[in-house]
């Protein structure tokens, strides 16, 4: 189908994508829309005029709220019905209800440049996994040596920790340099102050849809029906704070100060053409066979290209474009989103609409595919060269990091947009 709006034919935001987001304008409060090219289609307006209906919602509006939670809770059959209707409604071949209604079209179609984006959901809980084998191997090699790089449990289950939902922020939000305890000298007492080893983590996250009741696990083969859609995630990390606090209970202040996500949620259905097998699991590949509750018959990986760009203050003031410092791909994840969700709930933990789950840092086998500065500079021993003679090991105040992503195959493109954040000085 061809959209009736005049959009770039090479956009990653065509009818095959239609990602959902929460936006506001100067005159209206936050509500739900979908992105089509460089426009936002206001679903709250279309719903109020009866042009878009939501099966199962009854008389209650779904899209006039400041979050996607109500829509996420309705499940995949409703998501697909609404998505199919929108694809038809916004196409040249589809319904004239919007195309030929000038007044409604003027209200419902807003230029992207005129909107402010917000968090797409009320995030009740946030879980971060550790699902890239190469990333886990790199970090383990640095701190334990190559012979003990992977912990004994890593190839048997998706390792994760419970993050801080209150500090998840939308793209464009500044990140204040965190302070905390550090122990730079093994033979001296800990010190307190701003983190000196501030880092990023290139991740792919997903939002939970209907979820499950307490005590009722989500089987891995049904997990995809509980995944509403995907976003880019930058799980900012203070490595010096993290190193000192990590033992024995894992991440805390080194992670909880900020996690940035992209504003547009790419529907799970839009990524179906980009499913690939990924890294094999099981004895034939020389890996342990996952326990039965983690065995997944459908292709586990998503072929999504990812990039990390860095812009320093000097580059910004000099008009130099951000420098791409890494390129990776979501196929570098060993554990799939479905396996992550199945494992998360196998003990009966209840996942709820709007819960966010992230993959952990995504790193490939080559240095240029590593998803963190910890790996790219190998603990700071190999600085990154930047335009103008600058170098970086970890982030400095004023640095802006931009993560981007796109799936592309056989002429079909599905964009994620970007997630960005600028480092501001510590307030301690």
Please measure the distance between the N-terminal and C-terminal CA atoms of the chain and give it in whole angstroms: 54
Best CA proximity match to 204, nearest among 278, 151, 149: 278
Best CA proximity match to 135, nearest among 332, 282, 308: 332
* Alpha helices, H only, 282-353: 313-318, 337-345
Residues 217 and 290 both lie in one domain: yes
| Mean pLDDT, residues 405-412 | 94
Active-site residues, by number, are 135
Q: What is the pLDDT of residue 282?
A: 86
Q: Which domain holds residue 50?
A: 20-118
Q: What percent of the chain has pLDDT over 90?
A: 92
Cis peptide before 270 (omega within 30 of 0): no
**95: pLDDT strictly greater than 80:** no
Best CA proximity match to 257, nearest among 243, 241, 271, 244: 241
CATH of the domain at 104: 2.30.30.230
Report how far residue 40's alpha carbon sits from residue 37's, in angstroms, rounded to the nearest whole number: 8
What are the φ/ψ torsions at residue 369 (nearest 5 degrees)? -110, 10
List residues bridging with 238 in a β-sheet: 198
3-state secondary structure of 282: coil
Q: What is the pLDDT of residue 170?
A: 98
164 annotated ligand binder: no
| 3 found inside a domain | no
255 annotated ligand binder: yes
* Average predicted confidence (pLDDT) for the chain: 96
Domain boundary among 85, 118, 151: 118
Q: What is the pLDDT of residue 428?
A: 85
370 annotated ligand binder: no
Residues 104 and 158 both lie in one domain: no
418 annotated ligand binder: no
Domain boundary among 118, 140, 164: 118
Residues 371 and 402 both lie in one domain: yes
Check if the beta carbon of residue 412 is closer than 8 Å to that of residue 269.
no
Q: How far is CA 384 from CA 140, 144, 424, in A?
A: 22, 24, 21
Residues 197 and 326 both lie in one domain: yes
| 49 found inside a domain | yes
Domain boundary among 59, 88, 118: 118
Residues 364 and 415 both lie in one domain: yes
- Which residue's structure tokens are 């935001």? 13
**237: pLDDT strictly greater than 80:** yes
**208: pLDDT strictly greater than 90:** yes
| 12 found inside a domain | no
242 annotated ligand binder: yes
Q: What is the pLDDT of residue 58?
A: 75
**Counted domains in the chain:** 2
| Mean pLDDT, residues 123-133 | 98
Dihedral sign of CA atoms 348, 351, 356, 357 in order = positive
Q: How far is CA 282 from CA 155, 224, 291, 340, in A?
A: 10, 22, 10, 17
| Residues 6+ away with beta carbon under 8 Å from 376 | 325, 326, 367, 370, 382, 384
Per-residue pLDDT reduced to its tens digit, 373-397: 999 999 999 999 999 999 999 999 9
Q: What percent of the chain has pLDDT over 70?
A: 100
pTM of the model: 0.96
Residues 134 and 112 both lie in one domain: no
| 243 found inside a domain | yes
Residue 274: count other Cβ atoms within 10 Å of its Cβ. 19
Q: What is the pLDDT of residue 91?
A: 93
| 11 found inside a domain | no
Residues 95 and 131 both lie in one domain: no
Residues 66 and 167 both lie in one domain: no
Q: What is the pLDDT of residue 96?
A: 83
CATH of the domain at 343: 3.90.850.10
pLDDT band at 303 (very low <50, low <70, confident <90, very high): very high
Check if the beta carbon of residue 86 is closer than 8 Å to that of residue 95.
no
Check if the beta carbon of residue 199 is closer than 8 Å to that of residue 379.
no
Q: What tokens were used for 258?
A: 């900020």
| 199 found inside a domain | yes
- Which residue's structure tokens are 């997944």? 296
pLDDT band at 98 (very low <50, low <70, confident <90, very high): confident
Residues 289 and 305 both lie in one domain: yes
Best CA proximity match to 335, nearest among 372, 360, 364, 370: 360
Residues 237 and 99 both lie in one domain: no
| 15 found inside a domain | no
Best CA proximity match to 207, nearest among 230, 223, 187: 230
Q: What is the pLDDT of residue 166?
A: 98
Residues 391 and 267 both lie in one domain: yes
Report how far residue 172's alpha carbon sits from residue 263's, in angstroms, rounded to the nearest whole number: 10
Q: What is the pLDDT of residue 66?
A: 95
Residues 153 and 86 both lie in one domain: no
| 202 found inside a domain | yes
CB neighbour class for 120 (10 Å; exposed up to 12, middle 13-18, buried from 19) = buried
């Amino acid at each position: 189908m061809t959209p009736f709006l005049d959009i770039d034919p090479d956009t990653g935001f065509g009818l095959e994508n239609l990602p959902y987001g929460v936006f506001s304008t100067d005159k209206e409060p936050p509500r739900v829309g979908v992105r089509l090219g460089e426009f936002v289609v206001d679903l709250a307006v279309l719903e109020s005029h009866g042009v878009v209906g939501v099966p199962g919602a009854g008389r209650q509006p779904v899209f006039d709220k400041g979050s996607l939670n109500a829509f996420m809770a309705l499940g995949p059959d409703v998501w697909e019905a609404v998505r199919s209707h929108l694809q038809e409604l916004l196409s040249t071949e589809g319904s004239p209800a919007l195309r030929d209604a000038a007044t409604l079209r003027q209200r419902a179609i807003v230029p992207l440049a005129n909107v402010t984006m917000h968090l797409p959901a009320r995030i009740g809980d946030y879980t971060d996994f550790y699902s890239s084998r190469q990333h886990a191997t790199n970090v383990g090699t640095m701190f334990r040596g190559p012979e003990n790089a992977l912990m004994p449990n890593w190839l048997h289950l998706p390792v994760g920790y419970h993050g801080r939902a209150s500090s998840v922020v939308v793209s464009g939000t500044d990140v204040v340099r965190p302070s905390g305890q550090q122990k730079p000298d093994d033979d001296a007492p800990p010190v307190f102050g701003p983190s000196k080893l501030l880092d990023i983590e290139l991740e792919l996250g997903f939002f939970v849809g209907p979820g499950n009741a307490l005590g009722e696990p989500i089987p891995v083969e049904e997990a995809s029906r509980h995944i509403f859609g995907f976003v880019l995630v930058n799980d900012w990390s203070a490595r010096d704070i993290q190193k000192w606090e990590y033992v024995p209970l894992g991440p805390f202040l080194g992670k909880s100060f900020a996690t940035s996500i992209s504003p547009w949620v790419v529907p799970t259905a839009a990524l179906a053409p980009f499913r690939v097998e990924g890294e094999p699991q099981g004895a034939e590949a020389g890996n342990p066979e996952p326990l039965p509750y983690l065995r997944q018959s459908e292709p586990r990986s998503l072929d999504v290209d990812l990039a990390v760009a860095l812009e320093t203050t000097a580059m910004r003031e000099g008009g130099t474009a951000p420098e791409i410092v890494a390129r990776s791909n979501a196929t570098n994840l060993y554990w799939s989103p479905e396996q992550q969700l199945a494992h998360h709930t196998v003990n009966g933990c209840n996942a709820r609409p709007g819960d966010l789950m992230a993959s952990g840092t995504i790193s490939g086998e080559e240095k240029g595919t590593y998803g963190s500065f910890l790996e790219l500079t190998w603990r700071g021993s190999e600085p990154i060269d930047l335009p103008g003679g600058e170098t970086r090991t970890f982030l400095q105040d004023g640095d802006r990091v931009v993560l981007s992503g796109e799936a592309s195959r056989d002429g079909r493109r599905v964009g994620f947009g970007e997630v960005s954040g600028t480092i501001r000085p510590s307030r301690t």
